[in-house]
Amino acid sequence: MRFWFYIEDQVQPILVPVNQAYAGYSNLPKKVLGLRIEPFLFKGWDGGDVQAVIVSKEGEESSRQLTVMSDLAANPAEKLGAIDYVLLCVDWDHGIRSALPLAETLTAAGLRCVLWDPRGINDRRPYCTHGLKESRDVPLLLDELERREGKQKHSIVAVGQGYGAALMLHAAAHDSRILALAAIDAYASLRQSVKRTLPQSPFAPVILEMMNVRMDKTVGMECFDVAPVEQASSIDRNVPVLIVHLAQDNPVCTLGDALTIYRRLKSDNREVWAMFRDNSPESLTERQKEALADVKRLFDEESAMTSLVHWLDGPVVAAIQAPRIVDPARPVPSPDLQL
């Protein structure tokens, strides 16, 4: 009995990953400095209502917006008008609030962002499937945007972080209306992420399998059912994909995860950026230096966010405006790289 309670304790944060930073706050903020918020509802994959908002820049700027605007004054981003909407997703719980910091950054550049609550309106969905089922909301959200504006084809870009990165990798693999994707701090597979968080013990494999049983019984999903790395290889070659690793000392999403996902991409326009705690490359092993050859080095989150804006203005807009390539993509490397 005690062992089963231990399994419950391990599984609960996976099934119900509550964002403690916003505990006690409403899911839908009424007012945010520097932002105009237009709420609307759409029907989710399970037939229930999902709260969403369109966010744009308005009024006095926030500190995040001022930072981006200062950079853009020196380094203009002049082509972003080619992007109609940026879909933003960060957390399952308080999905709209958790994505607002990213929205501040992007709206400062004049972009319109769409945020929603993957948990459903009024926390209607009791359990999280880490993008496996929630990603099915995305086509319905895009349908609603088309219906609202009477426009059949929008230029849609997706940006996800953490949970949202996994969800967006799923969505981009199945909906061709997503024309570019930035995945920040994505894990390669939920199973490996969960395994890395378990205490080192001879019983760890048994614990993991019992957790699988509990999750399958509750939501019809096991840890290994959620593998964003597998979705990455299904994303169309015409879609620019940016993999960004910002998390430090986080077993849930590692640099190895970022590189594994990056190597699986078929995209003709793929990039991988990473931030390191130690700024000295001499501290890396020779194998790591070889593995990191393609990585653009980041030194802080602030510069990462302004660089994201310029990535959208450069490679993404160019890809949106270019003719689509229909011939087969280059072969995908088979052996995964693990650091």
The CA distances from residue 154 to 105, 151, 176, 280, 288, in Å, are 21, 7, 11, 43, 40
Tens digits of residue pLDDT in 249-273: 899 999 989 999 999 999 999 999 9
Inform me whether the pLDDT recorded for 281 exceeds 70. Answer: no
Regarding pTM above 0.85, the answer is: yes
For residue 112, what pLDDT is reported?
98
> When comparing pLDDT for 82 and 150, which is higher?
82
DSSP string of 284-310?
S-HHHHHHGGGEEEE--HHHHHHHHHH
Residue type, 201: S
Give the pLDDT score at 337.
46
The pLDDT of residue 285 is above 70: no
In this structure, are residues 275 and 248 in contact, taking their beta carbons and an 8 Å threshold? yes
Confidence label for 289 from pLDDT (cuts 50, 70 and 90): low
Which pLDDT score is estimated for 133?
96
Instruction: Give the chain's radius of gyration (CA, Å).
Output: 20
Give the residue among 240, 280, 235, 242 at the shortest CA–CA distance from 258.
242
| Cβ contact 196:160 at 8 Å | no
Q: Is the pLDDT of residue 3 over 90?
A: no
297-324 average pLDDT score: 94
Distance from C-alpha of 20 to C-alpha of 120, rounded to nearest angstrom: 18
Residue, of 181 and 8, whose pLDDT is higher: 181
84-141 residue pLDDT tens: 999 999 999 999 999 999 999 999 999 999 999 999 999 999 999 999 999 999 999 9
Give the chain's domains with CATH numbers: 2-277+297-321 (3.40.50.1820)
Query: What pLDDT score was predicted for residue 324?
Result: 86
Identify the band that residue 282 occupies on the pLDDT scale cut at 50, 70 and 90.
low
- Separation of alpha carbons 292 and 150, rounded Å: 45
Confidence of residue 284 (pLDDT cuts 50, 70, 90): low
pLDDT computed for residue 334 by the predictor: 46
According to DSSP, the β-strands at 156-161 and 113-116 are: unpaired
Q: How confident is the model at residue 276 (pLDDT cuts 50, 70, 90)?
A: confident
Instruction: Return mean pLDDT, the chain.
Output: 91
Which of 23 and 3 is assigned the larger pLDDT? Answer: 23
Query: What is the DSSP pairing of strand 113-116 with strand 49-57?
Result: antiparallel
Query: Above 70 in pLDDT, residue 1?
Result: no
Q: Counting Cβ atoms within 10 Å, is residue 21 exposed (0-12), middle (13-18) or buried (19+)? A: exposed
Altogether, the residues listed in the chain come to a count of 339
Burial of 68 (0-12, 13-18, 19+ CB in 10 A): buried
Angle of helix 204-219 versus helix 2-15 axis, rounded to 10:
60
* 36-77 confidence digits (pLDDT tens): 999 999 999 999 999 999 999 999 999 999 999 999 999 999
Candidates 186, 187, 87, 85; CA nearest to 137 is 87
DSSP-derived secondary structure letter, 316:
I
Report residue 287's pLDDT band, with 50, 70 and 90 as the boundaries: low
